[in-house]
């Protein structure tokens, strides 16, 4: 069947908001479709090339950011801190892997969330759930929780402002290796593995000054980095409005982000999200959760990457630490046998969420690490490779996940729990995670 940016409408679509005024929704979409692109097709192509290289073992993907971005966090500090933590993690991984690390933020557009319940109990009585700032508001009042089509344009402008600032930081030299590496590691200085971590940081600092004194890399070049954006393609009206074709007869690009992913809840092959994603040129991620059937995954691979392009399709497994050994080998085997080009990444967050006795959603640092370790090892045993990792993290000192060398306990969580959706690794936990997985990243590239 013929594809168009709107052909998804012929298919069942899950997790789409209903609006009380269809007219206001249509008007909002029409205005969006008129706004300029946020990213450029050449950048999207370049990311695809980078992902293809990661699939071939020549680089490694680091994707990360908030579970959901808030409009209210579209400010200097939160953006700077998120950018900085991703940069610092990428430097640790680059050093370990001796290969470039491709940085992809869950940023500048992560405003839409699939939710398992439609309503929740709040102090003010039952309310529709929060679905992301692109759809409704977090405040538990009926006005704020009503789906508002005007938020779609606000999502666009906040995404544009966020990426604009990141581009300015890059071109202004923020990412220069000398600059952000006032590594802020005080929090982990007293922990058992500090000597190990410090040795890595010292090696990196030495390597940078060696390159400089050797004259092989000029300071400016070290600051000239690539950074890409991604978000979940959930609200199909929003995504279709940002889908553009530059030349008559040319390919269609979603120019709201460089990469889009389809969530675990919306990835059925004969439904709307897959229909939308199959027609665009952008690299597409697909989340794969526990219980996924190999046959369905193979269908997805062929549907989403009909030309079998390397770098087009990233399968992001999020099986849960306890299920990797049992479930991943079969998926890898089936995809290998079908011959589709797939780059594998791992999201060690979403399969390891639990709720404490006090009703707080959290994740254990150790389970996150263990899912990664097991995933690296299953790929290696199968003769393939894990080419990337996908985290929910923040540059702030939040207390949302337990464990790590600071050994946050469940009783610490309420101290600074700020996520409105899923629990994120904080700054220290994210840095530690990158130190701890360095070794696997290096061997997986061999």
Phi-psi label, residue 173: left if phi above 0, alpha if psi -120 to 50, beta otherwise: left
**With the C-alpha atoms ordered 243, 277, 53, 112, is the resulting torsion angle positive or negative?**
positive
C-beta of 41 vs 320, nearer to ligand PEP: 320
What does 82 interact with, of Co ion, ligand PEP, none (CB < 5 to 8 A by kind)?
none
Q: Are 237 and 208 in contact (CB under 8 A)?
A: no
C-beta of 67 vs 342, nearer to Co ion: 67
Closest separation in Å from C-beta 348 to ligand PEP: 11
C-beta of 263 vs 279, nearer to Co ion: 263
Closest separation in Å from C-beta 99 to ligand PEP: 25
How far, in Å, CA of 164 to CA of 157, rounded? 10
Tokens representing 130? 């929060």
C-beta of 50 vs 287, nearer to ligand PEP: 287
What does 379 interact with, of Co ion, ligand PEP, none (CB < 5 to 8 A by kind)?
none
Tokens representing 197? 């971590």
Q: How many CA atoms lie within 13 A of 12 on its CB side?
A: 7
Helices (H) and strands (E) in the chain, counts: 13, 14
Residues that bind ligand PEP (CB under 6 A): 67, 114, 263-265, 287, 289, 318, 350, 422
Closest separation in Å from C-beta 322 to ligand PEP: 16
Residue whose CB is nearest to ligand PEP in the complex, by number: 263
Q: Which of residues 399-428 bind Co ion (CB under 5 A)?
A: 422
Q: Which of residues 190-229 bind Co ion (CB under 5 A)?
A: none
Q: Any long-range contacts for 179-182 (C-beta under 8 Å, 24+ apart)?
A: 179/223, 180/84, 180/87, 180/88, 181/88, 181/91, 181/205, 181/208
Query: Measuring CA to CA, which residue among 236, 230, 233, 231 is closest to residue 17?
Result: 236
Span of 66-74, 120-128, 208-216, 380-388 interacting with Co ion by CB under 5 A: 66-74
Q: Judging by DSSP bridges, how do beta strands 343-346 and 259-262 pair with one another?
A: unpaired
Task: List helix spans (H) across 310-426.
Answer: 324-338, 365-381
Closest separation in Å from C-beta 192 to Co ion: 30
Closest separation in Å from C-beta 57 to Co ion: 28
Provide, for the chain, the percentages of residues in helix, strand and coil under a 3-state DSSP scheme, each rounded to the nearest 5: 45, 15, 40
C-beta of 28 vs 352, nearer to Co ion: 352
How far, in Å, CA of 65 to CA of 247, rounded? 33
C-beta of 73 vs 176, nearer to Co ion: 73
What does 242 interact with, of ligand PEP, Co ion, none (CB < 5 to 8 A by kind)?
none
How far, in Å, CA of 442 to CA of 206, rounded? 19
C-beta of 3 vs 420, nearer to ligand PEP: 420
What does 318 interact with, of Co ion, ligand PEP, none (CB < 5 to 8 A by kind)?
ligand PEP
Closest separation in Å from C-beta 234 to Co ion: 12
Closest separation in Å from C-beta 152 to ligand PEP: 19
Residues contacting 263, CB < 8 A, separation 6+: 114, 232, 234, 273, 287
How far, in Å, CA of 17 to CA of 111, rounded? 13
Name the helix (H) or strand (E) containing 262.
strand 259-262
67 binds Co ion, rule: CB under 5 A = yes
C-beta of 5 vs 263, nearer to Co ion: 263
Closest separation in Å from C-beta 195 to Co ion: 34
C-beta of 187 vs 271, nearer to ligand PEP: 271
Task: List helix spans (H) across 11-73.
Answer: 22-34, 41-55
What does 287 interact with, of Co ion, ligand PEP, none (CB < 5 to 8 A by kind)?
ligand PEP
Closest separation in Å from C-beta 289 to ligand PEP: 6
Span of 7-15, 63-71, 139-147, 305-313 interacting with Co ion by CB under 5 A: 63-71
C-beta of 152 vs 319, nearer to ligand PEP: 319
Closest separation in Å from C-beta 346 to ligand PEP: 11
Task: List helix spans (H) across 215-342.
Answer: 219-223, 236-241, 272-278, 294-304, 324-338
Footprint on this chain of Co ion (rule: CB under 5 A): 67, 422
């Amino acid at each position: 069947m013929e594809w168009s940016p709107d052909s998804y409408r012929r298919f069942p679509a899950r997790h789409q908001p209903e609006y009380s005024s269809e007219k206001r929704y249509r008007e909002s979409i029409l205005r969006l479709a008129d706004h300029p692109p946020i990213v450029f097709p050449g950048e999207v192509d370049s990311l695809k090339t980078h992902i293809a290289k990661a699939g071939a073992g020549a680089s490694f993907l680091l994707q990360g950011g908030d579970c959901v971005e808030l409009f209210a966090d579209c400010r200097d500090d939160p953006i700077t801190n998120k950018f900085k933590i991703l940069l610092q993690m990428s430097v640790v991984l680059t050093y370990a892997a001796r290969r470039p690390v491709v940085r992809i933020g869950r940023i500048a557009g992560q405003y839409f969330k699939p939710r398992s319940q439609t309503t929740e109990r709040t102090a003010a009585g039952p309310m529709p759930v929060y679905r992301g700032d692109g759809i409704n508001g977090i405040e538990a009042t009926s006005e704020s929780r009503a789906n508002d089509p005007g938020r779609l344009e606000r999502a666009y402008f906040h995404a544009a402002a966020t990426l604009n600032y990141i581009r300015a930081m890059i071109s202004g030299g923020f990412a220069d290796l000398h600059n952000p590496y006032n590594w802020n590691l005080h929090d982990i200085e007293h922990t058992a593995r500090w000597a190990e971590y410090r040795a890595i940081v010292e090696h990196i600092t030495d390597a940078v000054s060696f390159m400089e004194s050797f004259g092989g890399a000029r300071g400016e070049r070290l600051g000239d980095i690539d950074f890409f954006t991604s978000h979940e393609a959930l609200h199909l009206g929003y995504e279709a409005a940002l889908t553009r074709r530059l030349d008559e007869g040319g390919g269609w690009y979603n120019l709201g982000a460089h990469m889009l992913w389809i969530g675990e809840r919306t990835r059925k092959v004969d439904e709307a999200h897959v229909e939308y994603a199959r027609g665009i040129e952008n690299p597409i991620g697909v989340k794969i959760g526990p219980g996924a059937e190999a046959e369905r995954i193979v269908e997805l691979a062929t549907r989403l990457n009909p030309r079998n392009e390397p770098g087009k399709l990233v399968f992001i497994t999020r099986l849960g630490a306890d299920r990797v050994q049992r479930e991943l080998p079969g998926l890898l085997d089936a995809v290998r046998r079908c011959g589709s080009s797939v780059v594998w990444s791992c999201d060690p967050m979403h399969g390891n969420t639990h709720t404490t006795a006090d009703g707080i959603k959290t994740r254990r640092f150790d389970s996150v690490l263990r899912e990664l370790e097991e995933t690296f090892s299953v790929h290696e045993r199968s003769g393939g490779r894990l080419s990337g990792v996908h985290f929910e993290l923040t540059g702030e000192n939040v207390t949302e996940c337990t464990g790590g060398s600071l050994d946050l306990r469940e009783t610490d969580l309420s101290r600074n729990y700020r996520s409105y959706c899923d629990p994120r690794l904080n700054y220290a936990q994210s840095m530690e995670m990158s130190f701890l997985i360095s070794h696997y990243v290096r061997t997986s590239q061999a």
